[in-house]
Chain A
Amino acid sequence: KAGVTQTPRYLIKTRGQQVTLSCSPISGHRSVSWYQQTPGQGLQFLFEYFSETQRNKGNFPGRFSGRQFSNSRSEMNVSTLELGDSALYLCASSPPPNPGSTTKNIQYFGAGTRLSVL
């Protein structure tokens, strides 16, 4: 089974531009979460999508948005990029809820997209 796939792996943008990152979850997973990793702030939760609906959201400005498609693939968008948005953006997918399952909350991470804003 293929793992979580994030594209592109690397991205260079300039201030003021916007960017779209893509995440394909593990087949059969319907929950996709996004995280931002920076040296100063560590790993911070952006948002989580399940069945095309945003279920949970972290403390990020409205410039950060996301969506999920019917095939569970997800995209996140950052508009009006700032230097501080330079980070590794990680996507994680989780298996669907299954009564009695002990794996439903486990998150499997992709390799990330490294965004540099110049």
Chain B
Amino acid sequence: GEDVEQSLFLSVREGDSSVINCTYTDSSSTYLYWYKQEPGAGLQLLTYIFSNMDMKQDQRLTVLLNKKDKHLSLRIADTQTGDSAIYFCAETRAGKSTFGDGTTLTVKP
């Protein structure tokens, strides 16, 4: 079956690094994604990683994938107040995405 799990809340201080974790169960997933949702808005694609990779870096964002443990993480370096939002990890197969419940990131000044 398909299931994606995330911790619900994370609070960090401005300038620190944030690490958001996610586990998934569908081992056949080829693509794994991180989305950001701000209040009242849709989902903004932040980054994605293919299952044949174990790391991807994109400016302040670093995605780590442990395929053996089906664990995905998103690290945000130098976290800013504008990074406060809900972050969703997702796996997609055949036009259908399965999302975690989202991690609410709060950045304190």
Contacts and interface: CB of A to CB of B under 8 A. Distances in A.
A45 B96 contact: yes
Closest 7 CB pairs of A and B: A48-B95, A109-B43, A43-B99, A111-B42, A109-B42, A105-B31, A112-B42
Interface stretch (A14-22, A50-58, A69-77, A79-87): A50-58
Contact of B97 (A4, A45, A102): A45
B42 A55 contact: no
A61 interface: no
A46 B65 CA distance: 28
A50 B42 contact: no
A90 B43 contact: yes
B33 interface: yes
Given A42-B102, A108-B45, A109-B44, A33 B95 contact: yes
Interface in B58-109: 88, 92-102
Given A105-B30, A106-B31, A31 B42 contact: no
Interface of A is mostly: strand
Q: Give chain B's interface residue range (CB within 8 Å of chain A).
A: 20 to 34
B43 A102 contact: no
Contacts of A94: 95
B33 A106 contact: yes
Q: Is the interface of B mostly helix, strand, loop or mixed?
A: strand
Nearest to B44: A109
A111 B100 CA distance: 19
Contact of A56 (B30, B33, B95, B101): B95
Given A31-B95, A106-B48, A111 B41 contact: yes
Contacts of A55: 94-95
B96 A109 contact: no
Interface string A92-111: 10100000001001111111
B97 A33 contact: yes
Contact of A107 (B50, B92, B100): B92
